[in-house]
Amino acid sequence: MFAMGQRKRAFHPRKRTGCITCRIRRVRCDEQKPSCNRCLSTGRKCDGYADSNSTDLPSPPTSVNASSSETRMPRRNAAIPMSLGLPLPRRNDEELRSYRFFLDVTASEFAGVFDADFWLTDIPRTCHSDPAIWHAVVSLGAAHQGYLVSRGSARADSASPFAVYQYYQAVKHLVHLPSSRTPPEERWRALIASVLFTYLCSIQGLHSQSGVHLAAAKSLLRELQNSDPSRSKLDATRVNQLRVPEYLKASSVSYKAVLSIIASLELQSQALNNRNANEAPKLLRDVDAYTAWRYYTAPNPTESSRICQHGKCVPSRATPENIARAGRAFQSLLDALILLSQRIQPDKAGALEGANKAMENPISQRQPYTRAFHELDKALNMFVSDSLGDCLCFGSPDQFSPSTQHRNKAIDSLRVFRSVCHPLIDYLMGDSDVNLEEHVIQLLDMADSVLGNKAGHERSDVAEFIPSLSITQPVFVVAATGPTLALRRRAIALLRQHPRREGLWDSLFTAAFLEACLEYEIALFRGGAMADQAGLDEVEAIPANCQVRWAVFRFTGAHTARVTMQTLAEWLNDEPGREAPLTW
């Protein structure tokens, strides 16, 4: 660490103007109005300008003028958390470097379609007024930087002493220091910290600890629901993301975003712990991460009153908001289809030669999925058409600008999700897709292009940030269930070539697991009852009754685990399956 006072620099009078966001971040503002370019170019929401007579923001902040809170924070009611006058930690160079890394790299990489505001706006604002959140963010930035630097090396380890020290500082401010907050406010603060700690422990390879923090977040959420006096006993069993508890309306952290993060982490936890899809917590059933697909409709093509002079063109519907909304619906639809496919697997009362229970669901139960896919397909066709249009009536599009490339990458991500949802819909509807291999080839070609395009995290020149969908999940589906061995191997190679950490999942861990599955399936096909059949070179695919359908993980280290795999036949016959080591 270096003493801040040892650096000498030329004296400049301290500016007392600039937007509120830049002043909180302590960076120079270009003072463009109504929103400064410095905020917009980095994907942040500019909170506007305070009264010209106001003084510069102190550190730590000691008071906020209640009458100006609405001006300071258009999206919510306050620019900082509820209890003010908190003693912020004395910052040093190492803390500031890790915080800067969090702002520039971690936040944009973690920002998904449901929680972009949480990472890009809410947490950076909150950590300047809450020492616990500050230390948690600094620890997360340091751990993430260590993870990226050491990823793929023989001694990959992001649990640096500095990150660990910052974690304990955050815990100390949460638990041991006195506070003037009410109990619900303390629970909300602890819930936010638990979310950050879940990501922190996951990055460091502390898998059991990340599960503990996720469980704590869900427990705190239940306590917050039960402590809300305005809710009935029935309402307290699940959250309503549109009904923010009264004591959280002044919070600088979005209630809806936190719910979506917890729901997304819970979906990943279910997969890692082999929990049944029906066990999704009732508390989160109404959150966007589960339900966005249910009420999605494509943009109305005639909703714009502006038509070009020859009556042919309308302004582009491929707006950041429309693309982000479609992304949320596509993500939740794919999750819902995967959960549905798990629920309709045959139970042990059936047999392999019995009726295919995947086809027993009434059409009426599957119709909502088809409706949502139709709306998303229609919207995506609009986005592609509008982004490729050559009409200049509404301004000349610059196809090489960072904003255009950023938008096109987001549209390509939607196309990847369409390619994986289409065959899943056909399967659930009982249709055999003769073009399945063609769909998968298109998906992998597009995924390779998106994963190789680094524009998603280079946001310095992007006017409006569009949170991108995770491509890892569709590629995982292909690698696990693709129609041919060659396509499955190509999908696994993509996961290795483009390593990425997403919540509780690591693409390198996923690739190691899928390679173990493929090795086991090939061994089953070549031996036993399948020995007299054609070789793999002739059939190119693994028969369904030799494919792994269930897996249980037991983590033994930061980058090691053991997995127990079972095929459908082994599960039905209560056979143990195969255990294999994983290293990534």
Report pLDDT digits (tens) over 348-374. Answer: 444 444 444 444 555 667 789 999 999
What is the per-residue pLDDT for 463? 44
Percent of the chain with pLDDT over 70: 68
pLDDT 10s digits, 236-249? 455 555 577 777 87
Section 517-538 average pLDDT: 68
Q: Which among 516, 551, 503, 565 has a CA at the least distance from the CA of 273?
A: 551
Residues 6+ apart with CB under 8 A from 558: 156, 157, 159, 204, 205, 206
Distance CA 452, CA 473 (A): 16
Q: Enter the tokens of residue 6.
A: 């040892």
Q: With cut-offs at 50, 70 and 90, classify the pLDDT of residue 159.
A: low
Residue 517 confidence (pLDDT) above 70: yes
Is the peptide bond prior to 34 cis by the omega test (within 30 degrees of 0)?
yes
Tell me what pLDDT residue 356 has.
Answer: 46
pTM of the predicted protein model: 0.74
In the three-class reduction of DSSP (H, G, I as helix; E, B as strand; rest coil), residue 479 is classed as helix
Distance between CA atoms of residues 270 and 215, nearest Å: 12
Residue 268: pLDDT band with limits 50, 70, 90: confident
- Average pLDDT of every residue of the chain: 76
Radius of gyration of the chain (CA): 25
Confidence class of residue 28 from pLDDT cuts 50, 70 and 90?
Answer: confident
Q: What does the angle CA 171 – CA 175 – CA 181 come to, to the nearest 5 degrees?
A: 120
Q: pLDDT of 489-504, one tens digit each? A: 999 999 999 888 888 8
Q: What is the pLDDT of residue 71?
A: 32
Distance between first and last Cα of the chain = 33
Copy the structure tokens of residue 368. Answer: 């909502």
pLDDT at 33: 81
Pick the closest to residue 283 from 376, 377, 215, 213 (CA basis).
215
List, in sequence order, every residue forming a beta bridge with 550; answer none if it has no partner.
Answer: 566
More confident residue, 211 or 153: 211
Model confidence at 160, pLDDT cuts 50, 70, 90, reads confident
Residues 6+ apart with CB under 8 A from 52: 17
Highest mean pLDDT among 10-24, 44-58, 344-358, 482-496: 482-496
